[in-house]
Amino acid sequence: TEPGSDCVVSDINEEVSTNADIRIFVENRLKRFSLPLLPDQVDDLVQRAAGLFIWSSTLFKYIERSMNKTRDLRLFLSGSKKDEPLAQLYRLYDLIVDSAVDIGHQQDVEVLQVILGIIYVSAGNRPLSAAAISAFLRTDERFEDWDGASVQNMTRALHAVLYEDNSMRGVVRVSHLSFLEFIEKKLQHGFRIEIQTLHQLLSSGCFTIM
């Protein structure tokens, strides 16, 4: 599936790669980042990908900007390897989302969830820029301090799964449609905010902005 598509449905089964292809990609990235791993650890990364190239691609997008690449890579080598491919991918997304939030600021967790919710709700219609997301966010008095730059800092912290489409004035898009599906599941169970509340936020925000 091409990045930037506004369709919410993806088919993971159509994106299965061979373990040999994934191994070549993993070894190439480890060499680029000068990350020494034992052969069994490389095997581990290939096994965790479970044939999904998007798993490996997303992992190394995150590692590329990591402050401590060795530490963070070892974090992804922890946990069970027996999960289904999609479960492995969602666990990777969970770790990436958690890493974007400063645990010292509890409000950041809620703000991040609202931002991801807005991205999900607007993706099927017209994606929004960080400034536009901020305009809706700030209609809630709890988030009045979150200007465009603050929202942009948050979305850029999720560079492994989000990107700014400069061909459309910097709208924030998901790098892969499976991340939208991940957000949908989190809105159903896991996030503090629900889809209905997000629709109300965007609706009232439109009237406030007008």
DSSP string, 128-157: -BHHHHHHHHTTSGGGTT--HHHHHHHHHT
- The pLDDT of residue 9 is 42
State the residue for tokens 């994606």: 127
- The pLDDT of residue 3 is 41
- The pLDDT of residue 4 is 40
User: How far is the C-alpha of 44 from the C-alpha of 3, rounded, in Å?
Assistant: 27
Cα 162–Cα 165–Cα 169 angle in degrees, nearest 5: 130
Q: Which residue numbers in the chain have pLDDT < 70?
A: 1-16, 103-104
- The pLDDT of residue 7 is 39
Contact 66, 72 (CB under 8 A): yes
DSSP string spanning 82-105? -S-HHHHHHHHHHHHHHHTS-TT-
pTM of the model: 0.84
User: How far is the C-alpha of 96 from the C-alpha of 66, rounded, in Å?
Assistant: 11
- The pLDDT of residue 104 is 60
